Each structure stands twice: as structure tokens, then as C-alpha cells.
Chains A and B, each alone.
Chain A
Amino acid sequence: MDDLAIELKGIDKSFGAVHANKNINLAVRKGTIHGIIGENGAGKSTMMSILYGFYQADRGDIMVNGSKVIIRDPNVAIASGIGMVHQHFMLVDNFTVLENVMLGAEENAILNRGITNARAELKRLEEEYALDVDADAVIEELPVGLQQRVEILKALYRSAEILILDEPTGVLTPAEADHLFRILRQLRDQGKTIILITHKLREIMAITDEVSVMRRGEIVATRETAKTSVEELAELMVGRRVLLQVEKGDANPADVKLAVTNLTVRDGRGVVMVDNVSLDVRAGEIVGIAGVAGNGQSELLEAITGIRRAESGTVLLDGEAIGATGEADPALLRKRGLAHVPEDRHHMGLVLSFEENENAILGYHDDPEYLNGPMLNLENIRKAAQRSVEKYDIRPPDVRLKTANFSGGNQQKIVLAREMERDPIVLIIGQPTRGVDVGAIEFIHKRIIEMRDAGKAILLVSVELDEIRSLSDRILVMFAGRVVGERTPEATEGELGLLMAGVEEDQEAAQ
């Protein structure tokens, strides 16, 4: 058929024993927005990496505009009219927009003429697609949404007809995401073909024309978006019915267990990351912190848990100061009842090269139960690990397996089991379901609610606004290191979105 922009026929790819793509057949029609949805590890990124020439398929053909193409490397993909906007932008931070756009397509060793031509071409593209960016602005000074626009311009500059966007909204505020969707619709209306990779069902429903669902390396279904539903797609992704709504009763907040007052934290370069933040968390409630990634949430959590020194301010744990500006010690805080599920389980919550049972005691390894004098009590350690493996249904249930060999959801369960099973007073949770499959999300959310109902004070940080809204009893919004507002979970997404974009209370009231 000649109206197909991309056709994948029988694509197969293995990494060693891992079969990442199994006999993939995918047809993307010209001039449409085609969504690819699936859980982490379903093979979406592998498939797109094959299409863009990062990997070679073991078997199968790629057809672009009806003719077979062998995509050895990204240059071939670009020459075939395929452009890619990566999840992590591939921009040179201290170059201008123009320099970034022409990078790799400079024409001559002497840049003079190239710059003139590029400037004219960039202007034409900006006008044609209404993608307004200052060509002379330096990338690091642009907001994330505009940086993404530069990535799109880069692809268009290389005359891409087919645009692949990999999880494009992960770093955007809801308003920025809406803007992106408007741009994508316009590009489609002007004849471009767009492939959108995401794990967010809402985005698929909002913008795509067709959607393909991936599960365990296979495309399990392709649907017209208008003729499917969120429930059907979720079921296809997971392979069974899932509960998308978290069920929870009313909170019964009791005493304040965690009190943060005027906390200010600077990062290594001296930039203020947390700016005079105050908040309380009571026993039996979940306080959620919403915000776009990078607005100080990570630094706030690290200061509260003693990992990072605060510059000023106090943190009271169950009424007693933790010494946030000085002697705070994560090991001591654990003993005092502060449990911490860190945002980055790969680098902080787990040691991936360790066996499961070794990670099950990380941070609690000086508990006398696990020691015989200076020696580790391996028997007790493995028994305890075995118990939590059973209780949290961690698969495979092998406490001697290397942690790196567990899936994201099971790795997260290892961390949760460790932190939740010790009856903490305060539980700090960062990004509980990042990179976790839908089935495990359901389980994790349920456990968090159970902890709340058992009277724990829970501080939750997530960049997934849906997660914050469905779990929290109160929502704080962080922007540029400050708490810019507090809302109830009934607040609309638009309202929270404005706060996340930094529109402050009084300004908002004035509007």
C-alpha cells in the first residue's frame, strides 16, 4: 500500500537470552499520529532504536514510504526522512538554538554561508509550523518545553517527514504538554507522520489517531483510538484487568510527625534548590508534592532524610530535631523511625550488583538481628529476605539472585518491602512507580494506602500528577524550590498545572 509511511515486517531482536522484539509487524499510515504504548520493558524503545538505526534487527524488514530500507545507522534514518526527538534531549547546552539546529549539517568548514542559510531555513520552518523560538537564545537558558521545540525543529531542518517522539511529556508541565500536542496536531495536518511512544494512556486517548499496544516484546493489538477505551488499552498492556482507580477511605490525620520549617538547601554549585520550605505531615495522612522534575523535590527529600546538608531551617522527626544543617545521619534517622524509598532506586535505593538479600538489609545492616559481632548473620538475613519476597510477591522469589536481574517493578518492591516492613513513624516516598509496570503500580498504591491507614505519616513526591492526585490527602506544589500552593486532591488538573508552571497564588487570583 502506498499510503504507509512506515512498515515493519517481522522485526526480531534479541540481546543475548533476552528476546526484546518478537516478530513485530507495524504499519503507520501517512499523515497520522500513531501511538505506541506499553509498559517499561515491553520493547518500545528497542523497536524505535531499530527504526532509527541504533540497533540492527536480527530479522525482518523496514519499509519507508513503500520501499525497503536497510537502516545501518541514524544517518540512513535521517536520509530516509525519519527524525527522532529523544526523551533526554540531545542538545549542546551552551550553544544557541541556531547552532544546535545546524549541528552536523554545517555545509562547509567555514561556517559563514552555512549560518546565513540555516538562519533563513530556520525562519521559514518557524513560520510554516508556528514554532516560535529565538534563534540566538542559548539552550540552557530556555525552559524545557522550548528545548523540546528545538529538538523538533532540528528534525524538521533535516527534512524529516516522519517524527518519532519518545516519552515527550515526561519533563513537561500539563500546560507545556498541551502546547506540544497542539504542535503535533498541526504537524500532522501539514502532512507529517508522527509516532508517539508513551506509557501514559491519557496522552494516547488525547492525541493519537491509531494506537499499537506492546507487551513482552510483541505488538498485541492495533486499534483506532476513537474506537477503544482506556480500560481496554490498560488490559491489553498488562494482559489482565487492572484497577486504574485507587480505592481509599478518608484520612484520619493525628499528630504532626514530620515538621519542616524554613528549610533552604543549596546544591554543589551553590544554587538554591530548596527555598525556605515549610511543611507538616501528620500521622495517618499522605502529603503529596507535585511539580515538574527538577524543581527542588529531590533536594528536599535528601535534606529531610539526612543525605544532603541543608543550609538553614529545621526538620523535626516526631518532635525532635534531626540536625538537618549539621549532624543528620541517615543511619541514625532510620533507627528513629524514618523510612525512605528514594526517587532513584538504581543509584540510591539498591546496589544492582548485589544479591537480593543483600539489598534487603541496605541501611539496616547494623541491626543486631543481622549480625554476629562483626560478622554478617547470613542465615537471618536470607530468612528475613525470604519473608519479604513472599509477602510482597517479588518475582522470581530467589533471594540469591542478582538485583539487576529483577524487573523494575520487582526491584521497587524490594525497596518498599525493606522500608515499609520495619514499622516506621514517617515514610518518605519518591517516585514510587517510576519505571514500574501497571500491575505492580496497583500493588504499590495499595500498600501505600495501607501504610497510611496504619497511622504512618507519609510524604510522597511524584512527577506523575495522576499519582499525586489519587494518593494524596493534601497536595503541595513545588516550583523553583518553593512551595507555591497547597490544594486538596479535588483540585483540577488545570489548577495544579498552573501552580506547577509557577503561576503564584496572588497572580492566579488576579487573573
Chain B
Amino acid sequence: MSSPYEKLPGWVEYVLIPLINLTVAFLVAGLVVLIVGQSPIKAASLLVQGAFGYGEGLGFTLYYATNFIFTGLAVSVAFHCGLFNIGGEGQAYIGGLGVALVCLWLDGIFPWYLTFLVAVTASALFGAAWAFIPGYLQAKRGSHVVITTIMFNFIASSLMVYMLVEVIKPLGSMAPQTRTFLEGGQLPRLDWLLAMFGFDIGGAPFNLSFIVALVAAFFVWVLIWRTRLGYEIRTMGASPTAARYAGIKDARIIIITMLISGGLAGMMALNPIMGDQHRLQLDFVAGAGFVGIAVALMGRSHPVGIIPAAILFGVLYQGGAEISFEMPEISRDMITIIQGLVILFAGALENMFRPALVAFFATMRGAGNPSEVSTSGE
């Protein structure tokens, strides 16, 4: 049976619906805060204040958002090909290995901008390499990428423990991490950027990776909507039978898409490793790979949607940390609940309010044209 999905005006589709979803998510989150006996108003104002209210908070918000832009783009590129890459976490982790090896090798030889160029390439290559095997298995063997990428997250995790404990830890050190990079392995902060708007980012690690993320977003937009490869990726994603009809080589496209997706996830490692910690630590990805799934869902797999969605999750991370600091009764887990609600309403239930809006706009426009009804017979 057909229940036709009506076209809505663009601003409703891309602005109003996400806003409604978000509002509902926050209302429900407010209820949760109320249930534990706290003031949702206070929590909300702390969230906003913590995320935007002062320079250092804003710096942290954008720092987190940088991670999520990379992983969100990674997930969205795969989405366009009909692939669900859940392995952003592992790909970013391995990407970090690439960044760290380059920095350890070159930080004493090159100035930061040369090291940076090599490190960007290495992060993308390492992340892509980690996505290659699941991509190959999907393309040639039909092993589902959801399963293989999840398994590769665990393999990446164990591999990195081995590398940090046994291989790249400095001799005599007790901590499973590399040595701190010299200046040639450190990205400059973007304090001047926020200073232009009168903010002082203080100790926030907001760095050049943010610009790289924006460039990557532009690159993804060009790739998907303006290149022949993007056309083939979208055809594969929307209709594999049409792709076969068109003579598009599905195995090749699947592998290339996974390489690009893994490469983008791997580039996320630049931000925490070269931009913030200046060393490789255990578990530095900290769930950003999974948040990328929510960001891609919420941003409708479009770079223009992914950037604000990533910033929103940056707000939740940074403002959430502020809440749990100021209101000890609201634990870190509560913040996770709120993030979960946002994902639920913005991602899984994104079409919940759609029928009502469609009906509303249909009555606004008056009676329509029946010639486009698709009957169940077709």
C-alpha cells in the first residue's frame, strides 16, 4: 500500500522538522531532569552558558564539533552508497596511529606545517586501510559491513593496546602512550579566530583541525553532488539494480566508498592527537565514531546539515560537562541520556511529526492534483 511522502517546502524539510525534533528531545530531557528532582531551567541555562557563554567553553564546543564533523562525514559518505559504516571508531583509532607515527618521525626535523601535510595524508591512509578490508569483504564476499566494521572496532582497539604497550611507548615509561611531540608535531590553535569575535579561548584546544574539517565537508559535497564518482555512489546507494543496469561496477564503488569513508574517519585523529594532546593515548577516540552516526542521521547526510549537527553534539558534550560539574546530582550518565534522546528524536524518529506537517501544509495549499497518486497496483 502506498502512503505517498509529500514534498514539503525546503525550509520545513531542513529547518522546521529538525527544530521540532530537537525541541521535543529537550522537553523530554527536561522531564528526566525534573524526575530526579532538579530544575530543568537551570540545567538548560547551564548547558547554553557552558557551551557558548564564554570563550573557553565555546572553544571546547568547537573542538568536540571538529571530531564529529569528521566522523559524521565518514558515515554520510558510506550512507550515500547504501553502506552503514559503524567502524568510524576503529578507523579513527588506526588513523591516530598514522598521525602519531608521522609526528614521532618528523617532529624534530620539520616545522609543524610540513609534518601536518604528511600527517593528514597518513591519517587518511591509515583510516582508509582499516576500512578497506570490510569494504573488500562486502564487495567480493557479501559479508555485511555492519558486522565486519563492528568487529574491526574491537580488533583496532586490541591492536592499539598492543602497539601502545609493546611497541611505541617510550622505554621506561609506565603509561601506555607515546612521548609528547615536539613543536614540529603540534598544530597551532585558532585562538585568533575566536578573538576576532571578542572571545578568549583560554585553555581550550580549538585548533587548525577545525579548518581541515570544514575543507573536508566542502570536499564531500563536491564529491557526492558534483563528480561522476559521486553520481555512481548515489546510484548504488539509491538503487543497486539501477546501478547494475547502468553498468556501474558495484564492487569497485563499494570499495572506493569505504576507502573514502575510512579516510575521513581517520582524519578525525588529527584533532585530539596533533591538535590537543600532542601524543597518542589509549581510547582517544572516546566514542566520536559512534556520535558520527547520529550526526550523519541528523544532518541528513549532507555536509550543510552535518556541520550544525556536529556543533549541536559539541554543545551537548561541552555543556553537559558543565552541568555535571555545577549540578553534581546530574551525573555524566544523565548527559548521556539526553544525548540518547536527541539521537532518538532527531534520528530514529525523524519522521514522527512529518505526516501532521504534510497534512497541515496540504490544507494550507488547498486541494492538490490527483494525477500523481501512485496506486498499489504498480
Interface core residue of B229, B239, B246, B247 (most chain A CB under 10 Å): B247
Q: Complex Cα distance A390/B1, Å?
A: 33
Q: Complex Cα distance A205/B368, Å?
A: 33
Partner of B6, one of A17, A22, A43: A17
In the complex, are the beta carbons of A16 and B244 less than 8 A apart? no
Residues of B within 8 A of A216 (CB): 370-371
In the complex, are the beta carbons of A18 and B228 less than 8 A apart? no
Report how many residues on chain A are interfacial, defined by Cβ distance under 8 Å. 59
Q: Complex Cα distance A305/B247, Å?
A: 10
Tell me whether A44 and B375 are in contact in the complex, defined as CB-CB below 8 angstroms, given that A330-B247, A331-B247 are known contacts.
yes
In the complex, are the beta carbons of A40 and B246 less than 8 A apart? no
Shortest CB-to-CB span from A407 to chain B, Å, is: 6
Q: Is A353 an interface residue (CB 8 A)?
A: yes
In the complex, are the beta carbons of B242 and A349 less than 8 A apart? yes
In the complex, are the beta carbons of B242 and A408 less than 8 A apart? no
In the complex, are the beta carbons of B232 and A351 less than 8 A apart? no
Tell me whether A375 and B238 are in contact in the complex, defined as CB-CB below 8 angstroms, given that A40-B377, A330-B244 are known contacts.
no
| Contact count A vs B, C-beta below 8 Å | 143
Q: Is the interface on chain B under 10, 10 to 19, 20 to 34, or 35 or more residues?
A: 35 or more
Q: Is A435 an interface residue (CB 8 A)?
A: yes
Partner of A375, one of B228, B371, B375: B228
In the complex, are the beta carbons of B235 and A46 less than 8 A apart? no
Residues facing B in A319-363 (CB within 8 A) are 329-334, 340, 342, 344, 346-354, 358, 362-363
Residues of B within 8 A of A340 (CB): 245
Interface core residue of B4, B229, B359, B373 (most chain A CB under 10 Å): B373
Interface core residue of A20, A334, A346 (most chain B CB under 10 Å): A20
Residues of A within 8 A of B6 (CB): 15-18
Shortest CB-to-CB span from A306 to chain B, Å, is: 7
Shortest CB-to-CB span from B240 to chain A, Å, is: 9
Q: Is B45 an interface residue (CB 8 A)?
A: no
In the complex, are the beta carbons of A306 and B247 less than 8 A apart? yes
In the complex, are the beta carbons of A49 and B1 less than 8 A apart? yes
Q: Complex Cα distance A134/B259, Å?
A: 57
In the complex, are the beta carbons of B239 and A347 less than 8 A apart? yes
In the complex, are the beta carbons of B370 and A362 less than 8 A apart? no
Residues facing B in A11-61 (CB within 8 A) are 14-20, 22, 40-41, 43-46, 49, 54-55
Residues of A within 8 A of B362 (CB): 14, 16-17
Residues of A within 8 A of B244 (CB): 307, 330, 348
In the complex, are the beta carbons of B375 and A43 less than 8 A apart? yes
Q: Is B173 an interface residue (CB 8 A)?
A: no
In the complex, are the beta carbons of B229 and A46 less than 8 A apart? no
Q: Is A268 an interface residue (CB 8 A)?
A: no
Partner of A18, one of B232, B235, B248, B372: B372
Q: Complex Cα distance A501/B370, Å?
A: 39
Tell me whether A334 and B242 are in contact in the complex, defined as CB-CB below 8 angstroms, given that A376-B231, A378-B226, A405-B372 are known contacts.
no
Query: Can you list 13 contacts pairing A with B, beta carbon distance less than 8 Å?
Result: A15-B2, A17-B365, A18-B370, A41-B370, A46-B373, A87-B377, A347-B239, A365-B228, A365-B231, A375-B226, A375-B227, A376-B227, A402-B7
Residues of B within 8 A of A (CB): 1-4, 6-7, 222, 226-232, 234-235, 238-239, 241-242, 244-248, 358-359, 361-362, 365, 367-378
Residues of A within 8 A of B (CB): 14-20, 22, 40-41, 43-46, 49, 54-55, 87, 166-167, 216-217, 305-307, 329-334, 340, 342, 344, 346-354, 358, 362-363, 365-366, 371, 374-376, 378, 402, 405-408, 435
Leading 7 A-B pairs by shortest Cβ distance: A331-B247, A17-B368, A16-B6, A330-B247, A217-B370, A363-B246, A45-B375
Knowing that A49-B376, A376-B230, A408-B378 are A-B contacts, what are 5 other residue pairs whose CB atoms are under 8 Å apart, sorted by A's residue number? Answer: A15-B2, A16-B358, A216-B371, A330-B246, A351-B238
